């Protein structure tokens, strides 16, 4: 297996908590979930030349209570 690069990443607390909950649902670590999501996004872009969503650059509005 190829060596993995380490990348420092800053996330808002709300985004981190949302990803952490999602990761738990999928039985992954937060790091594993982020890697999975990025991999899927890159696969989609390679497949049709587009991002997963047309509003990918729009500010996120996560309402978690």
Indicate the pTM of the whole model. Answer: 0.69
Q: Is 35 inside any structural domain?
A: yes
How many domains does the chain divide into?
A: 1
Q: Is 56 inside any structural domain?
A: no
Domain span including residue 17: 13-48
> If you count them, how many residues does the chain have?
65
Answer yes or no: are the C-beta atoms of 11 and 17 closer than 8 Å.
no
Alpha carbon of residue 2 to chain centroid: 21
Q: Is 59 inside any structural domain?
A: no
pLDDT tens figures, 3-43: 989 999 999 999 999 999 999 999 999 999 999 999 988 88
Answer yes or no: are the C-beta atoms of 13 and 21 closer than 8 Å.
no
Ranges of H-type helices in 1-65: 13-25, 30-48
Q: Is 61 inside any structural domain?
A: no
What separation in angstroms does the CA of 23 have from each of 1, 2, 30, 45, 56?
A: 23, 23, 6, 23, 20
């Amino acid at each position: 297996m190829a060596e993995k690069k380490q990348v420092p990443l800053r996330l808002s607390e709300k985004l981190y908590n949302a990803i952490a909950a999602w990761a738990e649902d999928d039985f992954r670590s937060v790091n594993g979930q982020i890697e999975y999501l990025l991999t899927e996004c890159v696969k989609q872009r390679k497949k049709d030349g587009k991002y997963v969503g047309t509003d990918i650059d729009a500010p996120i509005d996560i309402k978690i209570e």
